[in-house]
Amino acid sequence: MTVEDEIEIMGQRMNDKIKKIFGRSLHIREVDAGSCNACEVEVNALSNPIYDIERFGLHIVASPRHADMLLVTGPVTRNMELALLKTYNATPSPKLVAAMGSCACNGGIFGDTYASCGGVDKILPVDVYIPGCPPRPQALIFGIMVAIDKLEQKIKRKEALS
């Protein structure tokens, strides 16, 4: 199976999920909290003509105020901690947080040091962890689908309670 075929199948599945939960599209704001920049290469790859993720209803937006989900990369450096928190607070609820890459998941090779907080979940509640260094675009799409499923569960649980 070629990369294009893989993306076609995964993209369609993701599109179905997005339509079901969000009606039209899912808006993602990417935040680099101290990555090595390879994770950004892969996020950017999602928009190239081969993946062209927008056709499946996934938009990478410029402001956290427009976002349903934050996609955070990097181990969260001491110097980015505050900016990340501000971005999170600027994102309207209900919001999802995805930790992308080994660094974001648990600090990765940068660990927990004077300069690195050791992972996004030390600072924010994380809904889904997308491992890889960097995760391939396919893994990223899969991770986003898992996040959408989680949101669905959250909504159901809330409805059941009320």
Positions that interact with other proteins (CB under 8 A):
3, 30-45, 47-51, 60, 62-64, 74-75, 77-80, 83, 86-87, 108-116, 133-134, 136
133 is an interface residue for ligand SF4 by CB under 6 A: yes
Instruction: Tell the smallest beta-carbon distance from residue 27 to other proteins (Å).
Output: 13
Residue 53 corresponds to which amino acid?
I
Instruction: Tell the smallest beta-carbon distance from residue 118 to other proteins (Å).
Output: 10
Burial zone of 160 (CB within 10 Å; 0-12 exposed, 13-18 middle, 19+ buried): exposed
Out of 11, 101, 107, 119, point to the residue binding ligand SF4 (CB under 6 A).
Answer: 101
39 is an interface residue for ligand SF4 by CB under 6 A: yes
Distance CA 12, CA 35 (A): 29
Edge-first strand order for the sheet with 128-130 is 58-60, 26-32, 69-73, 96-100, 128-130
* Sites of contact with ligand SF4 (CB under 6 A): 35-36, 38-39, 73-74, 101-103, 108, 133-134
